[in-house]
Amino acid sequence: MSSDARRPQIPTDMKAFNDKLIAEFRANHGKLSGRMANSQILLLTTTGSRSGAQRTTVIGYRPYGENLAVIASNNGAEKSPSWFFNLLANPVATVEVGPNKFQVRARVSGPEERPRLGAIIDYLEQQQALTSRQIPVVVLERL
């Protein structure tokens, strides 16, 4: 089976899809409907590494103690998502989880921590199988 056959179904207009999810998330205090109703997602607002503009994206997460763990998979693409590069340039970001909104500092997990995070992030292995690059695992620490 080719990696394209295993790749998750991605909307043709990802920006429009995310914009709709963001609006619904905010209007319903973090609750989503339809096929996204039971998803563990957060809204991550980063500062653009080149533009300096605020950028909000939808990301799956898992709790990691007092922190949150996310992966920079970009749906298995060969390049990490823009939000990851934004966090490398400016690790302070805003997270919205359910009705809560707070600031975080992002850090990329090290090799000693990755197995523990891989056990928590149940979809990491599936996403990793789609790409030859090592998908970064990011820990969002509440400030």
pLDDT digits (tens, 9 = 90+) for 55-73: 999 999 999 999 999 999 9
| Whether 90 contacts 101, CB under 8 Å | no
- Per-residue pLDDT tens digits for 89-135: 999 999 999 999 999 999 999 999 999 999 999 999 999 999 999 99
* Burial category of 73 from C-beta neighbours within 10 Å (exposed 0-12, middle 13-18, buried 19 and up): buried
DSSP state, 109? P
Q: What is the model's pLDDT at position 9?
A: 56
On the question of pLDDT at 6 being above 60, the answer is no
Strand order in the sheet with 137-142: 54-60, 41-47, 92-97, 100-108, 137-142, 67-71, 62-64
Residue 11 banded pLDDT, cuts 50, 70, 90: low
CATH of the domain spanning 3-142: 2.30.110.10
Neighbours of 70 (CB within 10 A): 25
What are phi and psi for residue 33, nearest 5 degrees? -120, 180
3-state secondary structure 63-82: EECCEEEEECCHHHCCCCCH
Compute the mean pLDDT over every residue in the chain, rounded to the nearest whole number. Answer: 90
pLDDT tens string 28-44: 888 888 888 878 999 99
Please identify which residue in the block is written with the tokens 């590494």: 49
Per the structure block, which two tokens stand in for 18? 């995310």
The per-residue pLDDT for range 69-88, each reduced to its tens digit, is: 999 999 899 999 999 999 99
pLDDT at 46: 98
Q: And the tokens for 53?
A: 């503009």
- What number of residues does the chain have? 143
pLDDT digits 0-9 by tens, 13-25: 778 888 888 899 8
- Flag whether pLDDT at 7 surpasses 70: no
